[in-house]
Chain A
Amino acid sequence: MTKCKKLRKEPVWATVLFTAILIVMAIIMIYPLLLVLNVSLKSREEFLMNPSGLFTFKSFSELFGNYSDAFETMNVFGRLLYTVAMTVGSALISCIVITLVAFPLARNHFKGSGKVFGFILISMFFPGSLVANIFLVQNLGLYNNPIVLIIFWGFGGLTVYIFMTMQFIRELPKDLDEAAFIDGCGYFHYIFGFIIRLSMPILSTVFILKLVGAWNDFLTPYIYLIEDKYMTISTGLFAFKGQFSSNWPGLSAATFTVALPVIVLYIFLQRYIIDGMAAGALKG
């Protein structure tokens, strides 16, 4: 289908302006990270003498000296695996729990499902209270137990996503369900086998949002977990700040080490992430 392009050519000045804006914004987006990288490659003395210039190359060991310190202090690889396990795991749990509740409600599979819907709606007005959460975690003896991460991340803050998913499921054809049930398909079997697959668009959004949320949440592990080994990557960076007292290069190296895996992953997955978020947000 060819479009009539005669009126749509953009004036040159507009193109120039927009391109300039794009470039300026791009610089603003990336500059801070480049700065961190630059500083991390300097030694403490070099940084003091020359804070804003480009790092100088003396030897490989000196260049990456801060990084070896950072790696040692923060145990990046071990922590990475743990963080991924916790965040991905809880995001998966969220998706499952959400689908399990969205399906019956969207399809009105039992009497009173309207009331349950109302109940969930009301719960939106009860955001979690830190004071109460600390109190509960303490008194239930769950301190320093990584299960609190799964609990808060996997089972918390689901309301909005439940609605989004319900909305989506409503648009799925009912006939498929009926056909399956007539054929004797088990309820849960159907959910896991079909609904989840059909709801991929919305679920991948939920998954990603939950994942990023958990990844960024450095406070929850900070407050409830004590031991080093239970710190996630984001928390580790914040908690170890004390070890980098008056050492910007060291702290920069640590920061960059934490940011790098995320950036790398992002470069590979950005298409899916962005598309997923866009699609999901609209349907909500």
Chain B
Amino acid sequence: MKRIFKLLCGAVLGASMLLSVAACGGSSEDVLYVLSFKPEYNEIFEEVNEIFLAENPEIKSVDYKTVDTNNYNTIFTSRIQSGFLDVFTSEVTYMMQGTNNYMLPLEHRDYMDDIKEEYLTQGSFYDPAVGGDAQLLTLPIEQVANVVYYNKDIFEEYGLEVPTTWEEFQNVCQTFANAARYPVLDKTPIESPIIFGGKSEWPSMTILNSVVADVIEINQPGFFDNIVNYDTDESIRFNNENWLEVFEKMQTIGTEYVDDSIYGLDYTYAATYFSVGNTVTGKKYPMMIDGSWVQSQIRGDFEVGAFALPAVSDPTNADGKKNLSVKTGTTLSVFNGSKKQQAAQNYLEIFFRDEIYQKFVDFAKTPSVKETVTQSGALVNSIFDESKYTLVQAYDSRMPRYFPLVSASEVTSLMKGSITPQTVADTLQNKVEQGKEDWQKYTGLSHTK
């Protein structure tokens, strides 16, 4: 009896092993592999999946996966090496930093005529070293801005206005920091003036971008355009007084206006806790620094506002407006090693259909990239209000290819107070100097010829 049982187990085991091994192989011809790092948009993509399957009968299923931003790189690498990829989300930054090698030049289709020119340009890639025409490699689906969300009710309670200068911002933060330490009677208790996803590290870049958009652009306008003259222009250094100011302000924000516990908070929970506060202590977070993409996740019972972080005493730029750090956010691309290029491009087309894209725009609270679809959200339109703001490309997305950036872990450590601003600045400058050979070839790199 025992013998038979053993034999049976062995047989089942062996069979399952053989089956699993046998049933594999190269990527399936009738599955579309979609990889995304935006779980927030699952709903929309699921709808696209359904329509896609209905209209492309040769494809039997869509393998749609979302991964954490932090793990995205690892997974993406496996996918491209193994060929299990057709459609994927990306960013213009990634394209400029090398992912362009894996993006299929998209063939022109009618729907692209409805996409605003500036977005098509953003998604185009031109390498002066290679020449030829600029190719459309990736389609932006959204534009995002780095903003400070604030709880209007709490601001009113504490008698605070939206800050328009660095000093006013400091004042607002300090008021809340004081309230956190010494609770004020019959006012909403404060846990931390600012909340953000400290543990995930990359969210600190959203804060950095805002600070750079003011400090560098106002104090040293044209800095970024002059990277080309790095060798001759002594002022183009990343440890000059302006960059030092950037890092010092980052440290000020991080140590004085962000409660320690925030650095243990995973990004995915920042918006939730901003919405409902710290449910254990009952205290609230008046401000959250994040991207415009997170609006759909803010579900509090208070009125939410947003402003661009003023990082200098007079943030009025040459056009009389305030700088807003923006970047073309998530983009969609087709893997150039895909065996279903037509089907993959069909997928993109479905996403951009007015009915679908309108839903996306409403859900994601982003300015629309299409002429034919409009964004009607009040908050998002107030953020991207071009009468108030000049949209500036975010620091971490505008640098030439292979240009060394300050890393998210460095910025987070800086904010925690573990390393000094001088260290960060010097390290950055060293990186830039040492990597000169690689990036100087690409300073001429532009989106179009």
Spell out A's residues near B (CB within 8 Å): 48-52, 81-82, 84-86, 88-89, 92, 138, 141, 143-147, 150, 222-224, 226-228, 230, 239, 241-243, 245-246
Cβ-neighbour of B66 out of A85, A138, A230, A242 (below 8 A) = A242
Spell out B's residues near A (CB within 8 Å): 12-14, 16-17, 20-21, 24-27, 33, 37, 39-40, 42, 63, 65-68, 71, 74, 78-79, 81-84, 268-269, 271-272, 276, 279-280, 297
Cβ-neighbour of A143 out of B12, B33, B63, B81 (below 8 A) = B81
In the complex, residue of chain A having the shortest beta-carbon distance to the beta carbon of B269: A246
- Interface hub of B13, B17, B279 (most chain A Cβ within 10 A): B17
Given A145-B24, A227-B63: A86 touches B17 (CB 8 Å cut-off): yes
| Cβ–Cβ contact A243 & B24, under 8 A | no
Residues of A close to B27: CB separation below 8 A: 144
| Cβ–Cβ contact B24 & A82, under 8 A | no
| Cβ–Cβ contact B272 & A242, under 8 A | no
25 A-B Cβ contacts within 8 A? A48-B276, A82-B16, A85-B12, A85-B20, A86-B17, A89-B14, A89-B17, A92-B13, A138-B82, A143-B81, A143-B82, A143-B83, A143-B84, A144-B27, A144-B84, A226-B82, A227-B84, A230-B24, A242-B37, A242-B65, A242-B68, A243-B66, A245-B39, A245-B40, A246-B268
Residues of A close to B271: CB separation below 8 A: 246
| Cβ–Cβ contact A145 & B25, under 8 A | yes
Give the 6 A-B CB pairs with smallest separation, nearest first: A143-B82, A85-B16, A246-B268, A226-B84, A245-B268, A89-B17
A40 to B173, CA, bound (A): 37
Residues of A close to B272: CB separation below 8 A: 48, 246
Binding site secondary structure of chain B:
helix
How far is the CB of B363 from the nearest CB of chain A, in Å?
15
- Interface hub of B13, B27, B74 (most chain A Cβ within 10 A): B13
Given A227-B84, A245-B40: A146 touches B20 (CB 8 Å cut-off): yes
Given A49-B279, A246-B272: A226 touches B79 (CB 8 Å cut-off): yes
Cβ-neighbour of B67 out of A143, A228, A242 (below 8 A) = A242
How far is the CB of A55 from the nearest CB of chain B, in Å?
15
With A86-B17, A86-B20, A145-B24 already in contact, 5 other A-B pairs whose C-beta atoms are closer than 8 Å: A48-B276, A88-B13, A89-B17, A226-B78, A228-B63
Residues of B close to A222: CB separation below 8 A: 74
Residues of A close to B71: CB separation below 8 A: 242
| Cβ–Cβ contact A82 & B20, under 8 A | yes
| Cβ–Cβ contact B21 & A146, under 8 A | yes
| Cβ–Cβ contact B20 & A144, under 8 A | no
